[in-house]
Structures are given as C-alpha cells and as structure tokens.
Structure 1
C-alpha cells in the first residue's frame, strides 16, 4: 500500500459541492460517471459523482474529480493499455 507498482490511477484534483448535511445513521448511494476532459488526451479523465441519501431521499453532494494514469515504476503519467482504455471509453458515452 505504501509504494505503488505498475500503471494505476492517481487523484489529481477533486471538487465537492455539499447540498445538504448528512447525519448518522444514514445509508448513502454513490454513483460515478467518467467523462472526457480533453479530446485525444488518454493520460487523464474526469469523473463526476453524486451522493444520494436514502433517509432524506435527495442528492446531498455532487463532485467532479480529475484522475491521471500514472506509471509508478517510471514515476510519470502515462496511457493505460488499449483494453482498459476501450472499457473506460464505452462508459463515457452519453
């Protein structure tokens, strides 16, 4: 856990928009959807998320984050292999 190996993701940035307070006990449903940030740049992608409260029956938080494919062996950003990239791109469709 303390030292990465191979190619994986690293969190570049995240923004959160808290809409309502959440208190214990509650059950939250968190949904993510990846999105293209810059066409043709396969080294990074965005990920929008919503957090839904079952007890309030409302969305309580939204977020947008930037993830970068990172090669922990070479210590630099990189592109994922084609198979992973194809799966991710299918999920980015509207």
Structure 2
C-alpha cells in the first residue's frame, strides 16, 4: 500500500478517535498483515498514536528517544505473554522475586523520520533463544508511510535476582522449562516465516531509508 494523504487535518489525526479511526483501519490491517508474514508476534503488538505536543522534537520529528521508548513498551507486552507458561511464578518474574528478566543490550536504528499526524505499529520477533537469554527484534512501522521507520534489537537475559546471576531456564526446571520450550518454538516459526518473506522480497524493493 502506498503512503496515504488525507483530505483534512482532522481526518489525518483520526487514529486518536475511539476504536482507532475508520480511515486508519485499512492502513492498520495492511501493516499487521505484513508483520505477520515476517514472523512478528501478533499477540504482543501495540500501537502508539503520535501526539504532536509530546512525541516531537523541535524539527517536528518523533524524538530520538521516542522509538526506544515504544520498543520497551512492546517488549513489556512480550514479558506479559509469559504468564501463560509461568502460571503462579509469573508474578515473581514481574516483581523480580527469584527469576526475572533484564535487558543486557539494546540498539535502535532510525530508518525514516516520522511526523504528526501518524500512528506507529510496534511488533516483536524472537530471533534466537539460549538457555538463559533470547534475542529480540522490535520493528516500528508508520501507518501513513506504510513502511518500517525504526528497528530495535537486543538480548534479554533471564536473571536470578536471589543469586545475582543469569538463570538457566532448563536447569531451573518446572514452568521455566515450559517457557523456554515455548519461546524456542516461537523463534523457530518466526525465523521460518522471515526467511520465506525475505526470499520473496529482495532488499532493493523494501523502500529507501536514512
């Protein structure tokens, strides 16, 4: 889908309306479909509607630290998805009692400027899983541009706060083994979908960037 123009400013900011705005519905559906084809996780996706007074720098672009903020919010939703597998241990993870999570490293590449009015779809894809950590890619798409505008990557470590060291989920046993198996399968499926999509979409056809 090509970049979209609206007739009025009010239409262009209608993503703020209850339900996300009818005019933005096909734009939203297009990006979600694209993200799913690339192996991103639908259950933990989020949307951030750009707020003109809060999100922009003096040049009218989303602030540099805005994109990492959006990525962190989406990754928190990924942590919340662990509840299904951790059961009664989930609140311990969220409140850093025993085994929890910690960000080891994170990078953010800004691919294209984004200005108000616009709304951003943010989605995670787990790329690699080890016994004590996983690597995640978090990509952000502009609904109006219909293109990726930023991408964050990094390692998340499972950390035993009671022992002060990384936690091997397999050795921890119980529900932690279940979580490790689940995210490993998620990564496997994501990588398969990503490889299929990249084979059909050479880099030169994916749009220019900064």
Which TM bucket (shorter chain)?
0.7 to 0.9
1:83 aligns with: 178
Q: Distance in 1 between matches of 2:139 and 2:151?
A: 4
1:33-88 per-position Cα deviation (integer Å, ceiling 9, x unaligned)? 11226xxx411111012100112211101121111010112211112310100110
Alignment of 1:12-31 (within 5 A): 12-31=104-123
Select which of 129, 135, 138 maps to 1:46.
135
Select which of 141, 156, 159 maps to 1:67.
156
Q: Distance in 2 between matches of 1:27 and 1:7?
A: 35
Please state if 1:56 is matched with 2:141: no
Compare the two structures and name the one with the higher helix fraction.
2
SS at match of 1:15: strand
Give the alignment's TM-score, normalised by structure 2. 0.40
Q: Distance in 1 between matches of 2:187 and 2:156?
A: 14
Structure 2: which 5+ runs fail to align? 1-94, 170-175, 193-210
Judged with a 3 Å threshold, the aligned counterparts in structure 2 of structure 1 residues 25 and 5 are, in CA distance, closer, same or farther, namely farther
Compare the two structures and name the one with the higher strand fraction.
1
Q: Distance in 2 between matches of 1:22 and 1:8?
A: 34
Looking at CA atoms only, which structure, 1 or 2, has the larger radius of gyration?
2
**Cα RMSD over matched residues?**
1.6
Matched length:
89
Q: Measure how far apart 1:26 and its partner are.
A: 2.1
Q: Distance in 2 between matches of 1:26 and 1:11?
A: 29
SS at match of 2:115: coil
